[in-house]
Amino acid sequence: MIFDPRPIGVFDSGIGGLTVLRELLLAFPYETFIYLGDTARLPYGSKSGNTVRKYSEQNLKFLLSRNVKAIVVACNTASTQINEDFYEGLPVYNVIDPGSHLAALTTKNNNVGILATRATVKANSYEQKIKMQNPLINVFSVPCPLFVSLAEEGWHDDVITEQVAERYLSDLKNKNIDTVVLACTHYPLLKKPIQKVLGPSVNLIDSGVAISLILKIDFEKEKVKRTDQKNAPDQLLICLTDTGLQFENLSTQLLADHTKSKIIFETVSVI
Amino acid sequence: MIFDPRPIGVFDSGIGGLTVLRELLLAFPYETFIYLGDTARLPYGSKSGNTVRKYSEQNLKFLLSRNVKAIVVACNTASTQINEDFYEGLPVYNVIDPGSHLAALTTKNNNVGILATRATVKANSYEQKIKMQNPLINVFSVPCPLFVSLAEEGWHDDVITEQVAERYLSDLKNKNIDTVVLACTHYPLLKKPIQKVLGPSVNLIDSGVAISLILKIDFEKEKVKRTDQKNAPDQLLICLTDTGLQFENLSTQLLADHTKSKIIFETVSVI
């Protein structure tokens, strides 16, 4: 077996992708990760497709320059623009294919809800990809733009967040859905109020879990080679395009339970 | 009297500055305005001082290239970074000096509240400038980051917005304040719920009104020369760094009652 000690690159506009990184750290504790948060230009969810594509390509290029072995686009809005399998020969994973796949496998009654940013809903990628898996599945998409700010404000298990969820999801509750994709990487932070509003029988699909399952398969197929490390890496590098203690504190808080590595922050330019 | 038919440039990261533009259009109906919304990089309120300064300087340069006679920085966060009186010989107005001045003139009991983004609160410019007017004034600053998303979501007169305001402002209500500066240009859109929570006796200072008063004085002093037009200009040009119908619709909605000019949109690059 051939090993590959190079890191896996992960990017998002800001903190959302950390929910993906958390799941990756749990699933692959011996792998090294480099995270890029494009905090100087966040959020992506309210911007146009062209702008998001331009930003995402700059992020890919940056991670390529850091000698990664694969790249995870840990942002749904960016994933609507980057759906290549390879970039300059490197495997690239978006979060939409795994999420769609897992949703299609999970639903029993063929009614699936998609909660996402306005840009992701507009791009319509989830509906297309779920219907490619099974054209009989009904897909109901709901833009929930305030969820991002509520997640960033730290109001994760909160009565106000619950009321916002109640308003956004009231129509969806009448559609007899049994599976809902949290199709923005911020939204897993609001799992509790979302689950409370939708009821305990609805399955919530988390992009981080879905991408970890796919990556596990690709490690087995050796599409991406494992590291031969026997211990968790010493460092977890988080690169940010803007400075700011708030993001550093949030990252440390979100990742502390999921990694033994020392978290190192670096301010970078991707332009 | 010498006249100057050139337009006045106004910029903000997104829609917030339109509340300033509205007041300017009401106060100076014969003047021509060019508005720049840096929608490709909004919002500024969560970004670092250095990043906001870089973006703001690019915006100033862009407006200069459009042959304006004066520039209004219609964003409080950008105003914390751009406090020059002149840029390449052109008069530049930020919104913090006028807002601080008007707050110091308005308070009777010398207790003033500042509602702002995290970046503006951190920069502490309002407190410094109000204390320069009158060192006896007590200033209480409150970051209200969710207000921006609530304003952009259009929940301007809404029970959820009221609850968010209730949470952010509960401490401030115990400070016996009689004057509050809406120190983010988005916040005037939420005037109703903010006033409801603070009570009818509290004076709310709107940056757009404050800057219009100062500009009126400077027109009289001929620091900026008036146009000699006798009619409202034919066109109001809104330049955006990203495309997106949502911003165009919101702009039209916010400005329709305040101008007779035809609103024209143009996508531009400022980099």
Catalytic residue among A116, A184, A197, A240: A184
In this prediction, residue B56 carries a pLDDT of: 97
Is there a catalytic annotation at residue A75?
yes
Distances (CA, A) of B71 to A242, B90, B128: 26, 7, 23
Interface A:B, Cβ pairs < 8 A? 59
pLDDT in tens, A54-81: 999 999 999 999 999 999 999 999 999 9
Is ipTM beyond 0.85?
yes
What does the alpha-carbon distance between residue A117 and residue A145 come to, in Å, rounded to a whole number? 5
From B47, which residue of chain A is nearest by alpha-carbon distance? A40
Name the average pLDDT for chain A: 95
CA atoms within 13 A on the CB side of B227: 18
Is there a catalytic annotation at residue A239?
no
User: What is the amino acid identity at position B246?
Assistant: Q
From B55, which residue of chain A is nearest by alpha-carbon distance? A40
pLDDT in tens, A89-125: 999 999 999 999 999 999 999 999 999 999 999 999 9
In this prediction, residue A229 carries a pLDDT of: 87
The CATH topology of domain A8-94+232-267 is Rossmann fold (3.40.50)
pLDDT in tens, B133-187: 999 999 999 999 999 999 988 899 999 999 999 999 999 999 999 999 999 999 9
Contact list, A243 vs chain B (CB under 8 Å): 48, 50-51
pLDDT in tens, A231-242: 889 999 999 999
CB pair distance less than 8 Å for B145 and A153: yes
Tell me the whole-structure pTM to 2 decimals. 0.93
What does the alpha-carbon distance between residue A74 and residue A69 come to, in Å, rounded to a whole number? 16
Give yes or no on whether B8-95+209-267 and B97-207 have one common fold.
yes
Q: Residue A195: what are its φ and ψ, rounded to 5°?
A: -65, -40
Contact indicator for A177, A139 with CB cutoff of 8 Å: no
Catalytic residues of B, which ones?
75, 184
Contact indicator for B143, B182 with CB cutoff of 8 Å: no
pLDDT in tens, A211-233: 999 999 999 999 999 999 888 89
CB pair distance less than 8 Å for A145 and B163: no
The CATH topology of domain B97-207 is Rossmann fold (3.40.50)
Q: Residue B254: what are its φ and ψ, rounded to 5°?
A: -75, -30
Asked if the C-beta of A249 comes within 8 angstroms of chain B's C-beta atoms, the answer is no
Contact indicator for B187, B156 with CB cutoff of 8 Å: no
Asked if the C-beta of B229 comes within 8 angstroms of chain A's C-beta atoms, the answer is no
pLDDT in tens, B200-238: 999 999 999 999 999 999 999 999 999 998 888 999 999
Site of tokens 């400075």: A243
CATH no. for A97-208: 3.40.50.1860
User: What is the amino acid identity at position B248?
Assistant: E
What are the sequence ranges of the domains in chain B?
A: 8-95+209-267, 97-207
CATH no. for B8-95+209-267: 3.40.50.1860
Contact list, B37 vs chain A (CB under 8 Å): none
